[in-house]
Chains A and B, each alone.
Chain A
Amino acid sequence: MSTEAPVIHVVDDDTSVRTALGRLLRAAGYQVCVYESASHLLEQLPAAERGCLLLDVRMPGLSGPQLQDVLAKMGFALPIIFLTGHGDIPMSVRAIKAGAEDFLSKPVSKKVLLEAVDRALRRYDETHAHDVQMSLYRDLLSSLTPREREVFGLVVRGKLNKQIAHELGTSERTIKAHRHNIMQKFKVKSLAELVSIAERLGVLTAPADG
């Protein structure tokens, strides 16, 4: 976890609202960037560092949901919280389905807002952590020797050492040694864990010969 304060990006065309929200979030300890329209945000596209987006729904030009689509296409990964002056149920459903973290109505109390931001950041962390983890596993996978790779592929498919040795034309002992190395590299203690990693890496769905 970064020790820096998360950055909340607030997009709202109403000046009073924008300013007030900024104040509140800063007082709560977050860093805040404010934008008066969706196009302003896209122009100054920030880095996807730890934080979230707080979007008004009805805005001139691109609306909140439209911005959500654009960001999704771009692969911009910050979680989104919608804030609306209307009680727009269909829109809220759509927004959530499209992946928004939450859909809040103005006027929004501090408690509700900060809880939503919290959740959003946790989501970020989860996503982020997950991404980090996955990237680690991929590195590990590519650090396997070709032989280890083959063994890995068969081991996670539940093949016995004897079978693997037979298939690959080596001795059972060699296989056992490979297996031990692989487990160490992946830092797992059981076969089940390895299989889980393999599944996440998509290895299980690949053809059996690795």
Chain B
Amino acid sequence: MAGTAYRTDRRPRCHAMGLGARLFTAIWLMAILATPLCAVAQPSPRAVLIVDESEPGSPFSSRFNAQIHATLDAETAQPYAIYAESLDFGHFGGTDYDAVLRTYFVDKYRAKPLSVVVVLGSSALEFLTRTRSQIWPDVPLVFAAFDGGIARASLPANATGTIAPRRLQDLVKSARVLVPKLARIALVGEQLERQPFREHYRRELAQLVKEVDVIDLTGLPLAEIKTRVASLPDDAAIVYIPIYIDGAGISHNPAEALTIVAAAANRPIVVDSDSLIGLGAGGGSAISAEDLGREAGRMVARILNGERATDIPIAVKDLARPIFDARQLKRWGVSEIALADGSELRFREPNAWERYRWQILAIAGVLAIQSLLIAWLLYEHRRREAAEGESRLHLLEVTQMDRAVTMSAMSTSIAHEINQPLSAILSNAEAAEMILAEKSPDLNHLKEIVADIRRDDLRAVDIIKHLRALLKQDEIDGQIVDLSKVLNDTLEIVRPQAAEHGVAVDVKAEPASMPVRADSVHLQQVLINLAMNAIDAMQNVPASKRMLALRINRQDDEVMVSVADTGEGIAPDKLNSIFEPFVTTKEQGTGLGLSIARTIIGRYGGRIWAENRPEGGAIFRFTLNLAEAQRA
């Protein structure tokens, strides 16, 4: 085209200047031009373009780019701006595409001078090498590639980078983890030669076939792949080569294609890209985009900071790591322990512990405290039971002691009672003797005397019977006694005591007998205790008003005995506590009588309680079950 390149020697008149004027202009121009340079400079951000060979939005390149950002933030103070381009060599290629790209890049970045171009992938690198002279010839290149076979010699000038080799044998290693008895590899997906960035696997295949059989299922249509992978032998694993275009010429998203293959496959799959983990692949070998990005980013930073690309040596870093999907491990029955150190395990469901660590700890803490509490309570309970047992034992001892005391008191009382009839008998007999010695003894009188003697003798016999009952070694359990009779017997002792204290006694008993299963002495103990308490309660009551009322009646299956007094009654809040040991209102009281009574009644399965009478005074009642014979 017609350029403006030629120069004329003709100088237009108006431009003619003298030397001084030219000098002045030059200085003036320089001053103007130099001003921005002298001002506090805000240099414009350095443009960093990342060119990656995969499809737009590929997860790997997104993470790679993000890492470049992060690394530059960390490693350089230079302001920078990042641009990104995806070449999508999976879907597009050929010389025509080259031309399109060339024009596109040149036009697009004409006004945007680039400081560094980052190249991700060896195909992209090859592309830029090819087009170096046309596209950004002077811009330093930083590449990141997976292919260990990059020919150094073919690298452009002003380029440096990191090679992180991706090896098929790493894939096979991971496959062995998934299939311990691995004997076969099924290569599934796109043909290797169509994928420039995996093409180097082919070189490894030659070595690989020495270890395992290789089933070549590459280049098949997806439909057929699905069938073939469904019937693989048990000692096989699948190596998935991402499918961009399948054997039938249909375009696919490599990730989607993987899910379809995985759904159909009957063996584990290994992949070489970590963005494919989680789509059904069991594992594989992957290079972390972050690691690679960090390496590349550092180099970019160095260049931005002023170094020359040629001064930065090309790095070869083994960044490949075994990577597995925990869910697939579970599916194929592989334990996490089988993984080598340095393996990455994805989709590990954080087990309950990891997810809810604090909640678990809190709950565990609460449980621990609860357990401790329960243990302590159990301990206390046991101690308490032991103490109660002991106290019951003591109470029983005391009951027995009280029984002995009662018996002793009763026997004294009985001895006294016996003396009365015996005394009367003796005096009667002696009187009869004297009358008989008279001249004409009064026979009627003698008859009276003899009758009296007889009656008193029987009375004495009765009393002896009581004594026998007292002294007999009784069988406490199983013995049936008539509570009515026991009450009557007890009255023999109670009445004199009541009389001594000026207390009137009123007894109402149902005529029927009331058989209960209990020891008669125990029952007498209770009755005497209650009666004596009642008598004591009426000490301060005028003599004419002292009344001890005893009732015995039957209520369904039980017999109830009531002992009522006309004393001052019991404080309502003490109606229960008076049955506790050592609770007494008497000055000289032991406080044991009622608790012994309660123990005894409780022992025979009855109840005992106290009430206040509305007309004043207290009434103590106890119930006992009637023995079977009498049950209605």
Contact = CB atoms under 8 A, between A and B. Distances in A.
A20 B416 contact: no
A110 B416 contact: no
Nearest to B449: A23
B84 interface: no
A107 B426 contact: yes
Contacts of A19: 424, 428, 452
B416 A17 contact: no
Contacts of A27: 430-431, 434-435
Interface in A153-210: none
A16 B421 contact: yes
A19 to B, nearest CB: 7
Nearest to B441: A27
B422 A24 contact: no
Given A19-B452, A86-B416, A24 B423 contact: no
B424 A17 contact: yes
A13 to B, nearest CB: 8
A60 interface: yes
Contacts of B500: 58, 60
A99 interface: no
Given A17-B424, A23-B449, A58 B416 contact: yes
Contact of B426 (A13, A26, A108): A108
Contacts of B427: 17, 20-21, 23-24, 107-108, 110, 113
The residue among A27, A58, A108, A113 with the most chain B CB atoms within 10 A of its own CB is A27
Given A60-B499, A86-B416, A20 B422 contact: no
Nearest to A17: B424
A85 interface: yes
Contacts of A107: 419, 422-427
A20 B499 contact: no
Contact of A16 (B424, B430, B445, B502): B424
B12 to A, nearest CB: 165
Interface in B288-339: none
A88 B621 CA distance: 36
Contacts of B455: 16
Contacts of A14: 420, 424
A28 interface: yes
Interface in A1-55: 13-14, 16-17, 19-21, 23-24, 26-28
Given A16-B452, A60-B499, A108-B426, A24 B421 contact: no
A106 interface: yes
The residue among A21, A24, A60, A61 with the most chain B CB atoms within 10 A of its own CB is A24
Contacts of A108: 423, 426-427
A106 B449 CA distance: 19
A142 interface: no
B426 A85 contact: no
Given A16-B455, A16-B456, A20-B452, A85 B430 contact: no
A133 to B, nearest CB: 36
A22 to B, nearest CB: 9
Contacts of A86: 412, 416
Contacts, number: 85
B424 A20 contact: yes
B422 A109 contact: no
Interface residues of A, number: 25
Contacts of B412: 86
Contacts of A28: 434
Contacts of A13: 499
Contact of A85 (B416, B456, B459): B416
Nearest to B421: A16
The residue among A14, A16, A107, A108 with the most chain B CB atoms within 10 A of its own CB is A16
A19 B432 CA distance: 13
A185 B96 CA distance: 190
A28 B420 CA distance: 21
A109 B426 contact: yes
Interface in A119-154: none
Contact of B431 (A16, A17, A24, A61): A24
Given A19-B424, A23-B428, A27-B435, A60 B502 contact: yes
A131 to B, nearest CB: 32
A61 B502 contact: yes
Contact of A20 (B417, B425, B496): B425
A171 B420 CA distance: 75
Given A24-B427, A109-B426, A16 B420 contact: yes
Contact of B434 (A16, A24, A61): A24
Nearest to B435: A27
B555 to A, nearest CB: 34
B502 A20 contact: no
A54 to B, nearest CB: 11
Nearest to A86: B416
A17 B417 CA distance: 11
The residue among B422, B431, B452, B502 with the most chain A CB atoms within 10 A of its own CB is B431
Which 10 A-B pairs have CB atoms at the shortest separation, nearest pair first? Answer: A60-B499, A106-B423, A16-B424, A20-B427, A107-B423, A27-B434, A85-B419, A23-B431, A110-B430, A20-B424
23 contacts: A13-B499, A14-B420, A16-B420, A16-B424, A16-B456, A17-B420, A17-B424, A19-B452, A20-B424, A20-B425, A20-B427, A21-B424, A23-B427, A24-B434, A27-B430, A58-B416, A83-B423, A106-B419, A107-B424, A107-B425, A107-B427, A109-B430, A110-B434
Given A58-B416, A85-B417, 17 more contacts: A14-B420, A17-B420, A19-B452, A20-B424, A21-B427, A23-B427, A23-B449, A24-B427, A26-B431, A27-B431, A27-B435, A58-B496, A61-B499, A85-B415, A85-B416, A107-B419, A108-B427
